[in-house]
């Protein structure tokens, strides 16, 4: 082979490796620079009667999730050929609290207040400052036992030699539906009596189809938003269960004012 042929072969073989290094590093930087918002949509029937029981919600002190969103490359494939190059990489992402516009524990507090003060017979009060409450008052303690949300991004890039030494690139990036594993424990008490001690858990997965994107930054942003939406829906599922149980228990208790 002459030098020109050797040079062309080197470019065709090395190009996927260089692209891989760049995409792996840049994805982490791009993800950590993004922010996404959790949301809670109230869909439960509104409690029509007067809320005649008061419950004090203790401060939720720990979100139990990583601070930074992490990116790990799980699979990679490089196929360098004379007339065709293919590069494929699969990345797993794990949602971190720094990618959210608010702390998760704050979002959970707001979700509980919104749901309970709309669909139950109780008036839930945020007592995060730990103020003194009546001895006979109802107290609600909440602990986040598990809080993991993951997403996946698959980067696909094909390249073929083009005119005058140029390379024609075809990009086809996809995000896979996110999944959340969430477990929350609550303890509802009055004086020394424990009325409810239960752990709620869910393995929630988005049902959206895989989405396609032409560039990595767009795929990163979409994956982050999908993970955030997934965690929002998982939280909603558990919060609705908690509110139903609290409503059932308190509706059977003697009416009192605190």
Q: What is the pLDDT of residues 108-155, one digit of tens each?
A: 999 999 999 999 999 999 998 878 888 889 999 999 999 999 999 988
How many angstroms separate the CA atoms of 134 and 48, rounded?
27
pLDDT of residue 77: 52
Q: How many domains does the chain have?
A: 1
Contact 42, 112 (CB under 8 A): no
Count of C-beta atoms within a 10 Å radius of residue 111:
22
Query: Is position 74 within any domain?
Result: yes
For residue 256, pLDDT beyond 90 = no
Task: Please compute, for residue 125, the number of CA atoms within 13 A of its CA located in the half-sphere on the CB side.
Answer: 16
Collapsing DSSP to helix, strand or coil, 211 comes out as strand
Stretch 234-257: mean pLDDT, rounded? 90
How many angstroms separate the CA atoms of 141 and 139, rounded?
7
For residue 21, pLDDT beyond 80 = no
Q: What is the pLDDT of residues 33-53, one digit of tens each?
A: 999 999 999 999 999 998 889
How many angstroms separate the CA atoms of 235 and 125, rounded?
19
Stretch 231-255: mean pLDDT, rounded? 94
Q: How, if at all, do strands 53-58 and 122-127 pair?
A: parallel
The token pair that represents 220 in the structure block: 């990163």
How many angstroms separate the CA atoms of 206 and 237, rounded?
13
- Say which CATH number the domain at 193 has: 3.40.50.10610
Q: Which domain holds residue 157?
A: 3-251
For tokens 């507090």, what's the residue?
A: 109
Query: Is position 154 within any domain?
Result: yes
| E strand or H helix at 203 | strand 193-205
Contact 96, 68 (CB under 8 A): yes
Query: Is position 256 within any domain?
Result: no
For residue 258, pLDDT beyond 50 = no
pLDDT of residue 22: 45
**What's the predicted TM-score (pTM) here?**
0.83
Query: Is position 180 within any domain?
Result: yes
Q: What is the pLDDT of residues 147-188, one digit of tens each?
A: 999 999 988 766 666 666 666 665 678 899 999 999 999 999
Q: How, if at all, do strands 53-58 and 138-161 pair?
A: parallel
Query: Is position 258 within any domain?
Result: no
The token pair that represents 232 in the structure block: 């929002």
Query: Is position 257 within any domain?
Result: no
Query: Is position 227 within any domain?
Result: yes
For residue 90, pLDDT beyond 70 = yes
């Amino acid at each position: 082979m002459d030098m020109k042929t050797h040079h062309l072969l080197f470019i065709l073989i090395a190009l996927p490796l260089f692209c891989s290094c760049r995409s792996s590093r840049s994805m982490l930087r791009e993800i950590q620079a993004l922010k996404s918002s959790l949301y809670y949509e109230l869909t439960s029937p509104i409690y029509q009667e007067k809320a005649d029981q008061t419950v004090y919600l203790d401060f939720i002190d720990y979100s139990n999730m990583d601070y930074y969103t992490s990116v790990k490359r799980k699979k990679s494939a490089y196929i360098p050929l004379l007339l065709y190059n293919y590069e494929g990489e699969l990345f797993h992402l794990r949602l971190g609290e720094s990618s959210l516009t608010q702390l998760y524990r704050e979002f959970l507090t707001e979700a509980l207040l919104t749901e309970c003060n709309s669909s139950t017979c109780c008036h839930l009060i945020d007592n995060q400052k730990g103020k003194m409450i009546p001895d006979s008052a109802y107290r609600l303690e909440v602990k986040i036992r598990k809080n993991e949300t993951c997403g996946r991004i698959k980067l696909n890039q094909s390249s073929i030699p083009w005119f005058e030494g140029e390379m024609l690139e075809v990009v086809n990036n996809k995000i896979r539906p996110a999944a959340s594993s969430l477990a929350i424990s609550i303890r509802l008490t009055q004086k020394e009596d424990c009325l409810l001690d239960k752990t709620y858990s869910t393995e929630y997965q988005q049902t959206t189809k895989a989405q396609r994107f032409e560039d990595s930054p767009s795929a990163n942003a979409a994956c982050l938003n999908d993970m955030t939406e997934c965690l929002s829906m998982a939280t909603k599922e558990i919060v609705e269960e908690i509110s139903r149980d609290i409503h059932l228990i308190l509706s059977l208790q003697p009416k009192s004012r605190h």
